[in-house]
């Protein structure tokens, strides 16, 4: 079942998600629903459970037709710097160049409960940082410089006012 994606202003996006203690059928169904919601979205490549209103530590993504889910993921190491024009399904139409570490080492559980470690950089590294932030109630706005945030808030309000206007060209959105 596809869910409605929660957008900026919804308190669930600012709350801490809780760890999954048992990977059961309920978790598997939730992962399926998250993929369905992701594929229904306009150009999203990843989704975190709080974005569908579920305060659980689950992230799903599909980059290069390789769908994967990670449970209780954490960034254990990060290195380098990379600027990328980030977008978010929960902050529709806004894209901002955000500086973050480039490489990350992420640890979590796969859907079978096996511990996995993933090294990623560039788009995939950014996706993990963005999605894991969602699990901790952190949004793109919180990763901007004060000046960027001020401008982005103004832009976002304007974008919402003109939401009925024709959509701009499609661009990747992290989640
Ligand atoms: Zn997002």
What tens digit of pLDDT does each residue of 41-56 get? 978 999 999 999 999 9
- Centre of ligand 1 to C-alpha 50, Å, is 10
Q: How far is the CA of 88 from the centre of ligand 1 (A)?
A: 4
Please identify, in words, the CATH class of the domain defined by 11-163. Answer: alpha beta
Furthest CA-CA distance within the chain = 46
Beta-carbon contacts of 12 under 8 Å, excluding residues fewer than 6 positions away, are: 6, 50, 53, 55
Give the per-residue pLDDT at 92.
92
CA-wise closest residue to 12 among 168, 163, 137: 137
Catalytic residue (choose from 81, 93, 131, 161): 131
Is 131 one of the annotated active-site residues of the chain? yes
Measured in Å, residue 15 CA sits from the centre of ligand 1 at: 14
Name the pTM for this structure: 0.92
The SS3 call for residue 86 is strand
Delimit the domains of the chain by residue range.
11-163
- Give residue-wise pLDDT tens across range 92-102: 999 999 999 99
Q: Which pLDDT does position 166 carry in this prediction?
A: 62
Task: Find tokens 């996006």 and name the residue.
Answer: 13
Give the per-residue pLDDT at 173. Answer: 78
């Amino acid at each position: 079942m596809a869910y409605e994606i929660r957008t900026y202003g919804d308190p669930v996006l600012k709350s801490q998600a809780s760890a999954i203690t048992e990977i059961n059928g309920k978790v598997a169904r939730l992962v399926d629903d998250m993929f369905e919601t992701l594929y229904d979205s306009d150009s999203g490549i990843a989704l975190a459970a709080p974005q569908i209103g579920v305060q659980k530590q689950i992230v799903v993504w599909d980059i290069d037709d390789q769908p994967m889910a990670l449970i209780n993921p954490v960034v254990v190491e990060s290195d380098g710097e990379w600027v990328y024009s980030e977008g978010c399904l929960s902050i529709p139409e806004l894209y901002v160049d955000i500086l973050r570490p480039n490489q990350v080492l992420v640890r979590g559980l796969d859907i079978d409960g096996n511990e996995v470690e993933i090294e990623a950089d560039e788009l995939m590294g950014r996706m993990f940082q963005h999605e894991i932030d969602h699990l901790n109630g952190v949004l793109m706005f919180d990763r901007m410089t004060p000046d960027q945030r001020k401008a982005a808030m103004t832009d976002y309000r304007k974008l919402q006012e003109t939401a009925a206007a024709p959509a701009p060209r499609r661009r990747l959105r992290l989640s």
